[in-house]
Protein backbone atom coordinates (compact mmCIF):
# COMPACT_ATOMS: atom_id res chain seq x y z
CA UNK A 1 0.00 0.00 0.00
CA UNK A 2 2.26 2.77 -1.26
CA UNK A 3 1.48 6.41 -0.55
CA UNK A 4 -1.03 5.98 2.27
CA UNK A 5 -3.68 8.64 2.79
CA UNK A 6 -5.01 9.79 6.15
CA UNK A 7 -8.03 7.55 5.54
CA UNK A 8 -5.73 4.57 4.87
CA UNK A 9 -3.86 5.30 8.11
CA UNK A 10 -7.12 5.55 10.04
CA UNK A 11 -8.13 2.10 8.86
CA UNK A 12 -4.74 0.58 9.77
CA UNK A 13 -4.81 2.29 13.19
CA UNK A 14 -8.28 0.93 14.01
CA UNK A 15 -6.99 -1.82 16.33
CA UNK A 16 -4.32 0.22 18.13
CA UNK A 17 -5.59 1.34 21.53
CA UNK A 18 -2.43 2.66 23.20
CA UNK A 19 -0.21 5.51 22.07
CA UNK A 20 2.93 6.79 23.74
CA UNK A 21 2.50 10.53 24.36
CA UNK A 22 5.81 12.38 24.70
CA UNK A 23 6.20 15.88 26.12
CA UNK A 24 9.11 18.17 26.97
CA UNK A 25 9.75 18.56 30.70
CA UNK A 26 10.76 21.79 32.41
CA UNK A 27 14.35 20.53 32.50
CA UNK A 28 14.35 19.83 28.75
CA UNK A 29 14.08 16.04 28.99
CA UNK A 30 11.54 14.08 27.01
CA UNK A 31 8.91 12.28 29.08
CA UNK A 32 6.66 9.65 27.51
CA UNK A 33 3.74 7.70 28.89
CA UNK A 34 1.11 5.32 27.50
CA UNK A 35 -2.32 6.80 26.82
CA UNK A 36 -5.49 5.10 25.60
CA UNK A 37 -7.32 6.52 22.60
CA UNK A 38 -10.55 5.11 24.09
CA UNK A 39 -11.24 3.27 20.84
CA UNK A 40 -11.76 6.49 18.89
CA UNK A 41 -10.52 4.96 15.71
CA UNK A 42 -11.71 7.30 12.97
CA UNK A 43 -8.40 9.14 12.98
CA UNK A 44 -8.52 12.51 11.24
CA UNK A 45 -5.29 13.95 12.64
CA UNK A 46 -6.72 14.75 16.07
CA UNK A 47 -6.36 12.50 19.11
CA UNK A 48 -7.96 12.99 22.53
CA UNK A 49 -6.81 11.59 25.86
CA UNK A 50 -8.24 12.03 29.35
CA UNK A 51 -6.05 12.64 32.38
CA UNK A 52 -5.82 14.56 35.63
CA UNK A 53 -5.40 18.33 35.40
CA UNK A 54 -2.68 18.22 38.07
CA UNK A 55 -0.50 15.77 36.12
CA UNK A 56 3.05 16.48 35.00
CA UNK A 57 2.10 16.10 31.34
CA UNK A 58 -0.46 18.89 31.65
CA UNK A 59 2.25 21.16 33.07
CA UNK A 60 4.59 20.11 30.25
CA UNK A 61 1.95 20.88 27.58
CA UNK A 62 1.11 24.27 29.08
CA UNK A 63 4.80 25.17 28.93
CA UNK A 64 5.48 23.65 25.49
CA UNK A 65 2.59 22.32 23.39
CA UNK A 66 4.85 20.46 20.94
CA UNK A 67 4.31 16.74 21.54
CA UNK A 68 4.70 13.43 19.78
CA UNK A 69 2.60 10.28 19.66
CA UNK A 70 3.80 6.85 18.65
CA UNK A 71 1.57 3.93 17.74
CA UNK A 72 2.72 0.35 17.22
CA UNK A 73 0.44 -2.01 15.31
CA UNK A 74 0.86 -5.53 14.02
CA UNK A 75 2.88 -6.74 11.04
CA UNK A 76 5.54 -4.02 11.32
CA UNK A 77 3.03 -1.14 11.15
CA UNK A 78 4.12 1.96 13.11
CA UNK A 79 3.03 5.58 13.19
CA UNK A 80 4.87 8.60 14.62
CA UNK A 81 2.93 11.85 14.98
CA UNK A 82 4.37 15.30 15.57
CA UNK A 83 1.81 17.83 16.71
CA UNK A 84 0.56 20.45 19.11
CA UNK A 85 -1.47 19.67 22.19
CA UNK A 86 -4.06 21.72 23.96
CA UNK A 87 -5.59 21.17 27.37
CA UNK A 88 -9.38 21.18 27.40
CA UNK A 89 -11.71 21.55 30.39
CA UNK A 90 -15.01 21.86 28.50
CA UNK A 91 -17.58 19.22 29.57
CA UNK A 92 -19.34 19.40 26.20
CA UNK A 93 -16.11 18.32 24.51
CA UNK A 94 -15.60 15.68 27.21
CA UNK A 95 -19.00 14.22 26.28
CA UNK A 96 -18.02 13.99 22.61
CA UNK A 97 -15.05 11.74 23.45
CA UNK A 98 -16.23 9.89 26.58
CA UNK A 99 -16.62 6.12 26.59
CA UNK A 100 -17.98 3.96 29.44
CA UNK A 101 -14.55 2.33 29.92
CA UNK A 102 -13.28 5.65 31.29
CA UNK A 103 -15.56 5.33 34.32
CA UNK A 104 -13.00 2.89 35.75
CA UNK A 105 -10.46 5.72 35.96
CA UNK A 106 -12.78 8.68 36.50
CA UNK A 107 -15.61 7.58 38.80
CA UNK A 108 -17.83 10.63 38.31
CA UNK A 109 -17.56 10.58 34.52
CA UNK A 110 -17.30 13.98 32.88
CA UNK A 111 -18.11 15.56 36.26
CA UNK A 112 -14.96 14.13 37.87
CA UNK A 113 -13.19 16.91 39.73
CA UNK A 114 -9.77 17.65 38.22
CA UNK A 115 -10.53 16.00 34.87
CA UNK A 116 -8.76 17.32 31.78
CA UNK A 117 -8.64 16.26 28.15
CA UNK A 118 -5.57 16.55 25.98
CA UNK A 119 -6.27 17.11 22.30
CA UNK A 120 -3.31 16.54 20.00
CA UNK A 121 -3.56 17.97 16.51
CA UNK A 122 -1.11 16.27 14.16
CA UNK A 123 1.10 18.41 11.97
CA UNK A 124 3.28 15.66 10.48
CA UNK A 125 2.68 11.93 10.46
CA UNK A 126 5.36 9.40 9.60
CA UNK A 127 4.36 5.80 8.98
CA UNK A 128 6.04 2.49 8.35
CA UNK A 129 4.03 -0.37 6.89
CA UNK A 130 6.49 -3.18 6.43
CA UNK A 131 8.87 -1.94 3.75
CA UNK A 132 6.51 0.87 2.71
CA UNK A 133 6.91 4.18 4.51
CA UNK A 134 5.94 7.77 4.07
CA UNK A 135 4.95 11.08 5.56
CA UNK A 136 1.75 13.08 5.61
CA UNK A 137 1.31 16.73 6.47
CA UNK A 138 -1.92 17.65 8.25
CA UNK A 139 -3.37 21.16 8.17
1, pLDDT greater than 50? no
Instruction: Print burial letters for 60-98: b (CB count within 10 Å at least 16), e (below 16).
Output: bbeeebebbbebebeeebebbbbbebebbeeeeebeebb
In percent, the amount of the chain with pLDDT more than 70 equals 95
127, pLDDT greater than 90? yes
- Domain boundaries along the sequence of the chain: 6-137
Superfamily of domain 6-137: Electron Transport, Fmn-binding Protein; Chain A (2.30.110.10)
Query: pTM (2 decimals)?
Result: 0.90
pLDDT in tens, 58-110: 999 999 999 999 999 988 899 999 999 999 999 999 999 998 889 999 999 99
Given a contact cutoff of 8 angstroms between Cβ atoms, the answer to whether 77 and 129 are in contact is yes
Given a contact cutoff of 8 angstroms between Cβ atoms, the answer to whether 80 and 125 are in contact is yes
Q: Is 66 helix (H, G, I), strand (E, B) or coil?
A: strand
Amino acid sequence: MSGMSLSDLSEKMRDIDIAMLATHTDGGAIAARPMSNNREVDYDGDSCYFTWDESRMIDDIKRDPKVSLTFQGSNMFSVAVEGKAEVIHDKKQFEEHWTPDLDEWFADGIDTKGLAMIKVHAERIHYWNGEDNGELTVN
